[in-house]
Amino acid sequence: MPESRVARPRRYLVCEPGFFAVRYAINPWMRPDRPVDVSLARRQWLSLVDAYRRHGHTVETVEPLPGLPDMVFAANAAVVVDGRVFGSRFHAPERRPESVPYAAWFKAHGFDVQHPESVCEGEGDLVPAGRWILAGTGFRTAPEAHREAQEFFGVPVIGLTLVDPYFYHLDTALFVLDEENVAYYPEAFSPGSREVLERLYPDAVLATREDAMAFGLNSVSDGRHVFISPEATALADRLADRGYIPVPVGLSEFHKAGGGIKCCTQEIRS
């Protein structure tokens, strides 16, 4: 284990939860009869933004729009690699309009946007991991989108099948620690996909179901600091043992919609 992990400054895109609510149910976490504390949600979101900035990262914002309660989950809007933007085509009709304001933001900031032909939910299921992109399927993003992303980026895309509806996006079951390693919950994946992950990452940090259900794998790492749910205590301890520094940030209100830290964070890799 290295004595000191190295943090790399990141550029993040986020969306204020101005219209955040749980108005429909498109995953097992969502219950429209369970109200969201909007004031608390905003304070929690601001604490995440503040944590990023305190650790030297750039944070930019896209304006929320009324009628799009899940627009706060910026990660689902696109995936950006080497300044190239591969946009989103949402599975649920309720979320499809979100693609438009995010594409407009990227274009206004000088990016060209490739619009996928197949269902693809951005960094929710396309996770850049050093030499390749890990790509989830099974509940949202279509396998055809994996092929589209590979053709667009010219980067190997490795498909992984998700089998547990509580972990409907890859970024709820796995996150990248640095250029060489990841953390993940094995039982969220099909047997063959677990074998692939074991081959690619023999030294991966493995999470328990308890930590995964606490959104511990919906985390963001800058290579040293890991912004993580405070309820994922066992996972935080494992990360600390490996030389990473856990930075707890509570986003409990967003868990009601099936999201957490990573869901609220789009990384702009340019």
Active site residues: 169, 263
Contact residues for 138 (Cβ-Cβ < 8 A; gap 6+): 161, 162, 163, 168, 190
Q: Give the list of residues 6+ apart from residue 92 with CB closer than 8 angstroms, or none.
A: 24, 26
Who contacts 130 (Cβ-Cβ below 8 Å, separation ≥6)? 176, 179, 180
Rounded Cα–Cα distance for residues 48 and 46 (Å): 5
Beta-carbon-side half-sphere exposure of residue 252 (alpha carbons within 13 Å): 9
Rg of the chain taking only CA atoms, in angstroms: 17
- Which residue's structure tokens are 């794998």? 217
DSSP state of 179: S
Residue pair 253/37 in contact by the 8 Å Cβ criterion = yes
- How many residues are recorded in the chain? 270
Query: Which tokens sit at 202?
Result: 């023999």
